[in-house]
Amino acid sequence: MVMRTPENDFLNKHLKNSLDLNIPVEEWDESQILARMPIYALESYHPPKAREDDAFGQPNGKSLHGALYWPNGGYVTDPALSSQNLADAARQYGAEFRMGVEVAEIMQADGKVTGVRLADGGEIHAPIVVNVAGPGSAIINEMAGVTEEMTIKTRPLRQEVVHVPSPEGFDFEGQAPVVSDNDIGCYVRPEHGNHILIGSEDPECDPHYWTENDTDYDRNFTEQWTTQALRYAQRVPSLGIPSKLRGVVDLYDASTDWIPIYDKSSLGGYYMACGTSGNQYKNAPIAGKMMAALIKYCEDGADHDVAPLDFQLPYIQRNIDVGFYSRKRQINEESSFSVLG
């Protein structure tokens, strides 16, 4: 369920795209929102504010009047388990994994990648290397020496996600959908144990905490935890704010315009699937198919920079210009510049 607001043009473009693509979508009014979410209050608080703002928590005198609901929308509650499942599936096709090792060098010769050297001195030789290092992707690209031509870069961005109990008497885990609400600058979804996960949609008032690398960063909660919880309490007045802080502190691999890089590079045989910015996780299987097609396209001699790959989505039979995800693209000003992508 995504709240319709003036700031997202009441989702008119999203509605049209969904209808054009035959994606089931429903237009909900206030009564339908409250029937599904009786704990909600629909006063408007836009723009989202920092707690230091004197107007924090004060409604602006307007109300929200509707939402779009995608009944087939979903989420991944356990990314560690889903990654393990993908790894187990890959092993059935011959993939091998080296756990707990660090890449120290991207080996290359004559303008082509030849493999990776590990911190323990071991070497893995390969004619193709794909950077899927997540928040470590920028470091790996620097090792490969491919960043100079890139107009889109990646950086690790520290994020805090809040877990709070559902209001008493409401089955949030069983009844609530995923919700995006730019009026308060938060997204939420059910979490195990009838808890609510609350994340920031990166409004202007929320500071960005960029980190130097993907291992050395503050894993403690800050005032941002309380800010996010209180913002959601604007929508759910009965929400309790526990004294014990629970949730997750981790990193996004954020690109310059928050849209991923799925591309080749200036180093022969070296490819990138990075900059996923917290909004691409469920796309991983299709991104994998697309990257496999891109690698074959390039290794067969095509110049993806000059004539970008046209990739057909296998389930809906529509084509994607893979050049949209180029490392050399202009910054996409239509991006939300947030976790929404």
Residue 105 included in any domain: yes
pLDDT tens-digit profile of 183-231?
999 999 999 999 999 999 999 999 999 999 999 999 999 999 999 999 9
Domain end among 240, 255, 270: 255
Show which of 255, 286, 302 is a domain's final residue. 255
Helix, strand, or coil (residue 159) = strand
- Cβ count within 10 A of residue 196: 23
**Are 12 and 50 in the same domain?**
yes
pLDDT at 33: 98
CA atoms within 13 A on the CB side of 301: 0
d(CA 273, CA 112): 18
The model's pLDDT over 54-78, given as tens digits with 9 standing for 90+, comes to: 999 999 999 999 999 999 988 888 8
CATH number at residue 141: 3.50.50.60
Confidence of residue 282 (pLDDT cuts 50, 70, 90): confident
DSSP string, 66-121: EEEE-TT----S-HHHHHHHHHHHHHTTT-----S--EEEEEEETTEEEEEEETTS
Does residue 49 sit in the same domain as residue 161? yes
Is residue 230 included in any domain, yes or no?
Answer: yes
Range of the domain at 243: 2-73+155-255
Residues whose CB falls within 8 Å of the CB of residue 64, separated by 6 or more in sequence, listed in order = 3, 4, 5, 30, 33, 42, 43, 44, 183
- Please give the tally of structural domains in the chain: 2
340 confidence band (pLDDT: 50, 70, 90): confident
Same domain, 169 and 208: yes
Structural domain contains residue 262 = yes
How many Cα neighbours within 13 Å face the side chain of 15? Answer: 16
The phi and psi torsions of 280 (rounded to 5 degrees) equal: -120, 5
Q: Is the pLDDT of residue 173 over 90?
A: yes
Q: Count CA atoms within 13 Å of residue 26 on its CB side.
A: 11
pLDDT the model gives residue 341:
83
Task: Find the CATH number of the domain harbouring 184.
Answer: 3.30.9.10
Are residues 205 and 49 in contact, defined by beta-carbon separation less than 8 angstroms?
yes
Residues 103, 247 within the same domain: no
Predicted TM-score (pTM) of this structure: 0.92
Tens digits of residue pLDDT in 141-172: 999 999 999 999 999 999 999 999 999 999 99
Long-range contacts of 105-113 (CB under 8 A, 24+ apart): 105/143, 106/140, 106/143, 106/144, 106/145, 106/267, 106/270, 108/144, 108/145, 108/267, 108/270, 111/267, 111/268, 112/267, 112/268, 112/269, 113/144, 113/267, 113/268, 113/269, 113/270
Query: Among 335, 339, 324, which Cα is nearest to 287's?
Result: 324
State whether 208 and 104 are in the same domain: no
Angle (CA) 262-317-285 rounded to 5° is 40
Identify whether residues 237 and 321 lie together within a single domain. no
